Amino acid sequence: MSKLKKQSDKNAKKGHIRIIAGQHRGRKLPVLMADGLRPTTDRVKETVFNWLMPYIQDADCLDCFAGSGGLGFEAMSRGAKSVTLVELNKAAAQQLSDNKALLKANNIHVIQQNALNFLQANQQEFSLVFIDPPFRKGLAQQAAELLCQKGLDEDALIYVEMESDTNLQVLPSHWQLLKEKVAGQVIYRLYQNTAV
C-alpha cells in the first residue's frame, strides 16, 4: 500500500472529542473511529461530571474500556490526580498516547491491554472507575466482578454505561445506586462501593 493511500485511510477514520471543562476546557482531541468505539456524547458527559463534581479533585481514576478517552481526559482536565486508560485496540491506544502527549499530561497512563486481564492483575486501588464497554458482550458485569475482588477504594465511585435493556441486577449488590439517567438506548448510572 502506498504512503498516500495509508495517509488517506488514516485521515478518513478520525473524528474528535471535546473536553468540556477544567484546565483544558474547549480543547478538541482527535479520536480513531474504530468499530465498536462509542465516544460518550457531550450531553451525557456533562451530566456525569456534574454528578462527580464534588469527588473528582485528586481522584485516582481508571477508565476500563477507554476507547476515545473522553471520560478519562475530562477527569484529568477537572483535577483528577491520576488517570489510567486501558484500551485493547492498538491504534486507539496509540491515539490515546498521542493525545496524552498533546496535553502534556504526565498523570495519564495508557495501557494497551484487554481490560479484564488488566483488572485480574491490577494491584492499585482507584477512587473513581469508569465502565463503558462495547455493548452486548457482558463486559460490564465481568469488569464489576473483578473490581469487587480488588481495585476499589472503600468508598469508590463507579460510573457504568450500558444498553438500556440490560438486566441491571447483574451488578454487585453492595454497589449503592446514587444517580441514574436514560438517553435513548443507553442507561448510565453512578454507584458507590459500600463493601466493608
What are the residues facing 162 on neighbouring strands? 187
Is residue 62 within 8 A of residue 151, CB to CB? The reply is yes
**Mind listing the domains of the chain with CATH numbers?**
3-193 (3.40.50.150)
- CA–CA gap between residue 118 and residue 139 (Å, rounded): 13
Stated pTM of the model: 0.88
Mean pLDDT within 155-182: 87
pLDDT exceeds cutoff 90 at 25: yes
Band of residue 11 on the pLDDT scale cut at 50, 70, 90: very low
Residue pair 152/129 in contact (Cβ under 8 Å)? The answer is yes
CA–CA distance, 84 with 137 (Å, rounded to integer):
22
Q: What is the pLDDT of residues 57-116, one digit of tens each?
A: 999 999 999 999 999 999 999 999 999 999 999 999 999 999 999 999 999 999 999 999
